[in-house]
Structure 1
């Protein structure tokens, strides 16, 4: 009998080659080798060079306000300064925004919710949602491929039990994997950061990962971007996801997995 999708059965053991590597990976003090660190450093350097090119094409000014927002106050200050540049230097602002968002997604840096709010505040709902979905999908894809290259020891070190649970669920839902991945993207069952870095480890094909990410992030992106238009009225990030918003996301998630459940019942 199939286990419920949302059950946090993270204590289960999966006896295959992927999970058997856990002991050897977690025994080392630092999970990445020298060459793996070199690959990650090269990616960081590439992003920094891109941001430097964007910076050099902007007009001379005091850019002390440019920093990753960690609070709504930081975000409002950043928005107030960027509004004056967005109309005259739209391409540079867009490129800088995309690079920062993709960089944060690639290296699992928290705070992308503030970037989504900023997109709504600067570009409106439709363009903001398109921008967030594009950058979030690109960043998740970048994280996917980087994890495929060097992420295995890091995932074993940080989330061994979650990885066991995730692999078991993926293995049982191979025939309807897209529905399951959509459910995970739409609902907060598993963190998006974990999904990005763990998917290549548990052999989720990239085309399924891409489609689930691109489609599944739209509802949450719409909620966040729309809130960004009324940025001054927000008192905390928690105001974004009230009971109604979370219930709506779960309802959409249940709809995405209904075909899987019906197929299991028939079989």
Structure 2
């Protein structure tokens, strides 16, 4: 493997090594609801006395968790709601998740896009052209539907040549609804933890929440559908 290839793979290697170290060292035990219960008073007191610093620390920690695809990232938004309230917690989560997603996107595009294109050939080129026509709408749809793995949606647009500006904007907008839901769950976390229970993160799959999200996702694809219908009808 030549030097240029190694240099291109370095960002992805760093992210993978970070994830492997996190799992091998069992660090997930330090980021759990049990740890939150144990240190709740200390944490809330510190956040109340150092709110700007705490907000920045939370935002950066969230970005790191998403960039390294750590399996505890799903806990972060409820914790943000618990510490900062629904709206501030959701806002910080959206910014942190977007920054982390951009890191993964850039690493994947830098490392794999040319290799992926060379292997896939003409088939990928056709698929890439179709995706690029409405890349913002496609990604917005994927972000709004809470069933696609977040880490996978971070990588695929990079391989398909999506523009960074569209990627960042679609990601930021698309994760807002779910972030508000999870931060809202976190805002009531104090009472839940006091009862010795864990919050129900499956609430987003309840029909009263899932249906509006699916509705927004369908709306995101309507411009794509209309554009294709116009092309088919044009002589």
Show the 5 A alignment for 1:12-91.
35=7, 38-39=10-11, 68-70=30-32, 72-91=33-52
Q: Tell me by how many angstroms 1:262 deviates.
A: 1.8
Taking the aligned partners of 1:227 and 1:148, their CA distance within structure 2 comes to 35
User: 2:87 corresponds to which residue?
Assistant: 126
Matched, 1:266 2:220: no
User: 1:199 corresponds to which residue?
Assistant: 157
How large is the RMSD of aligned CA atoms in angstroms?
3.5
Give unmatched runs, 5+ long, in structure 2: 18-27, 193-197
TM-score in terms of structure 2 length = 0.74
Per-residue CA distance 1:167-192 (angstroms, 9 max, x = gap): 87653243222111111111135322
User: 1:4 corresponds to which residue?
Assistant: none
Per-residue CA distance 1:190-242 (angstroms, 9 max, x = gap): 32211112221111111110110111111111111111011143544323432
Matched, 1:178 2:150: no
Q: Tell me by how many angstroms 1:99 deviates.
A: 2.1
Taking the aligned partners of 1:228 and 1:266, their CA distance within structure 2 comes to 45
Alignment CA distance shift 1:180-1:189 (3 Å)? farther
TM-score in terms of structure 1 length = 0.66
User: Secondary structure, in 3 states, of the residue corresponding to 1:174?
Assistant: helix
Taking the aligned partners of 1:152 and 1:175, their CA distance within structure 2 comes to 18
User: 1:187 corresponds to which residue?
Assistant: 145
Taking the aligned partners of 1:132 and 1:36, their CA distance within structure 2 comes to 29
User: Structure 1 residue runs of 4+, over 6 Å off?
Assistant: 41-45, 153-156, 165-168
Per-residue CA distance 1:71-128 (angstroms, 9 max, x = gap): x334444544310100212233223212221111111112222110011011112211
Higher relative contact order (CA 8 A, sep 6+): 1
User: Secondary structure, in 3 states, of the residue corresponding to 1:200?
Assistant: helix
Q: Tell me by how many angstroms 1:251 deviates.
A: 0.9
